[in-house]
């Protein structure tokens, strides 16, 4: 199955552990001033946003009828913000915060919420790092306590780094042995051509082996600051009470400068790259430039992505797998970043079939570039995507990720009805435009990982 994936394509740290044993005294910081607020009210949604005076954005969504809460802290620091020499530092720092704080040992962190029936997870992406917990609603204060302790006060000891570095080196080795993961890292490296978005989130074995505790402390002191933090909760949550709790634990954090902007995306690299590897399958990734998260064209691309490779009824699945029998796994993918994006297709097939599979994928992409989607297929895909979105938002964790996404991308709070309206407003000509702009195989880079030679 490969590495656990996050909602935005990052690398998740699977722990099944939690933090916060609920018996440490609360810090004695006072409520910091609220400098701005926002809210969205709907028939089924109630979202609120508040900025503390140190720049931290606090968001919540009250979900009636649940007895749990999902809560998280997002740091605007990811692999795209790293220098080449510190590649992988954001992810390694995410690991290191669990090794202990001034108030808790690593084992106490592992027990503190798990003993209450909760869970704690973390992940790193190209543009942010996230720490989240899920607990019964009455334990939300303990969860905020634990998350604040992890995020703000990790010890980051050199001795702990020596051990955790080995864990991450094992993680990197695991990716090397998982070709359907590795092929995406290789594609990103070649496609982005030295741009920060092409750097592996884990870093390299060389960069991780040479990482110092001083480097991690520097990133922590400069990036884990007020303007770089988003704190959000979804579930049985009262906003004012949650803001008060966040201010209590996070209010004394310096505002800081926030993360640097990621440079604009370079020109797209096209063509074909082959990476020889002794594997049972050939792994192919077609990928081209996609829109940024702020680009409204992303709604049309989401629909086109689903039509081409979003499920068993999709065009590529039906053609390449069901009709031609050339693969087991085939799907489309997309990632929307602040300064650009990527969209494409993955297919895994036996080496002898790689040429035919690649031709079949190109043929389907060329057809949609020429023709777009007919009205009846577009209507069906709209219903499919809208249904999937509505079903996904039945969990507090999904609501939490959506809430944090608004803040991380500088967007206004958007209710489900507004999102569905934007999906429904996509026209046939919009699909034709994004197909020609983002799915033309002539404007994509094909990377093939597997045995040399072709059939």
Three-class SS of residue 100?
strand
Q: Is the pLDDT of residue 4 over 50?
A: no
pLDDT score recorded for residue 20: 31
Half-sphere CA count of 264, side-chain side, radius 13 A:
2
The catalytic position among 61, 82, 86, 94 is 94
94 annotated active-site:
yes
3-state secondary structure of 406: helix
CATH number for the region 11-250 comes to 3.30.830.10
* The listed CATH number (3.30.830.10, 3.90.78.10, 3.40.50.720, 3.20.20.140) that belongs to domain 271-450: 3.30.830.10
Q: Is the model's pLDDT at 23 over the cut of 50?
A: no
- Let me know: does 86 contact 215? Beta carbons within 8 Å: yes
The CA distances from residue 184 to 308, 334, 342, 444, in Å, are 19, 12, 11, 14
CA distances to 141, 151, 355 from 24, in Å: 11, 16, 62
The pLDDT tens digits of the residues spanning 201-216 come to: 999 999 999 999 999 9
Enumerate the CATH 3.30.830.10 domain ranges in the chain, comma separated: 11-250, 271-450
Whether 15 shows a pLDDT value over 70: the answer reads no
What are the structure tokens assigned to 63, written together?
């979900």
Q: Is 94 helix (H, G, I), strand (E, B) or coil?
A: helix
pLDDT in tens, 129-182: 999 999 999 999 999 999 999 999 999 999 999 999 999 999 999 999 999 999
**What confidence tier does 37 reach under pLDDT thresholds 50, 70, 90?**
low
Q: How far apart are CA 131 and CA 436, in angstroms?
A: 38
| Number of residues that make up the chain | 455
Split at pLDDT 50, 70, 90, the class of 7 is very low
Mean residue pLDDT of the chain comes to 91
Instruction: Point out the least confidently predicted range of 8-12, 202-206, 308-312, 322-326.
Output: 8-12
Give the pLDDT band (50/70/90) at residue 261. confident
Q: According to the model, what pLDDT value does residue 38 have?
A: 67
């Amino acid at each position: 199955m490969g590495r656990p994936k996050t909602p935005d394509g990052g690398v998740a740290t699977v722990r099944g552990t939690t933090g916060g044993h609920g018996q440490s005294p609360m810090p004695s910081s006072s409520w910091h001033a609220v400098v701005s607020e926002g809210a969205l009210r709907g028939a089924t949604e109630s979202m609120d946003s508040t900025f503390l005076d140190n720049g931290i954005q606090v968001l919540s969504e009250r979900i009636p009828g649940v007895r749990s809460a999902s809560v998280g802290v997002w740091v605007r620091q990811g692999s795209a913000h790293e220098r080449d020499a510190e590649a992988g530092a954001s992810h390694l720092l995410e690991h290191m915060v669990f090794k202990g704080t001034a108030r808790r040992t690593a084992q106490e962190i592992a027990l503190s919420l798990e003993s209450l029936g909760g869970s704690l997870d973390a992940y790193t992406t190209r543009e942010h790092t996230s720490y989240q917990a899920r607990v019964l609603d009455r334990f939300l204060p303990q969860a905020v306590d634990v998350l604040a302790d992890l995020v703000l006060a990790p010890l980051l000891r050199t001795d702990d780094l020596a051990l955790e570095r080995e864990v991450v080196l094992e993680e990197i080795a695991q990716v090397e042995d998982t070709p359907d993961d590795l092929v995406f890292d290789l594609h990103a490296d070649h496609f982005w051509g030295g741009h920060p978005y092409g750097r592996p989130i884990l870093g390299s074995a060389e960069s991780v082996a040479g990482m110092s505790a001083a480097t991690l402390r520097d990133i922590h002191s400069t990036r884990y600051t007020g303007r770089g933090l988003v704190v959000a909760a979804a579930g049985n949550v009262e906003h004012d009470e949650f803001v008060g709790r966040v201010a209590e634990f996070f209010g004394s954090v310096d505002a800081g400068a926030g993360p640097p902007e990621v440079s604009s995306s370079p020109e797209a690299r096209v063509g074909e790259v082959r990476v020889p590897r002794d594997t049972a399958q050939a792994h192919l990734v077609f990928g081209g430039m996609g829109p940024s998260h702020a680009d409204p064209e992303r709604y049309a691309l989401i629909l086109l992505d689903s039509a081409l490779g979003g499920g068993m009824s999709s065009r590529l699945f039906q053609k390449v797998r069901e009709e031609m029998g050339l693969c087991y796994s085939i799907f489309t993918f997309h990632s929307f970043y602040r300064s650009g994006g990527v969209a494409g297709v993955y297919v895994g097939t036996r080496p002898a079939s790689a040429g035919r599979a690649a031709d079949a994928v190109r043929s389907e992409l060329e057809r949609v570039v020429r023709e777009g989607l007919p009205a009846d297929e577009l209507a069906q895909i709209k219903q499919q995507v809208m249904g999937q979105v509505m079903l996904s938002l039945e969990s507090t964790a999904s609501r939490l990720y959506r809430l944090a996404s608004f803040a991380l991308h500088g967007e206004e709070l958007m209710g489900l009805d507004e999102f569905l309206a934007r999906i429904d407003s996509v026209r046939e000509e919009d699909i034709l435009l994004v197909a020609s702009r983002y799915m033309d195989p002539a404007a994509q880079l094909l990377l093939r990982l597997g045995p040399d030679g072709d059939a």
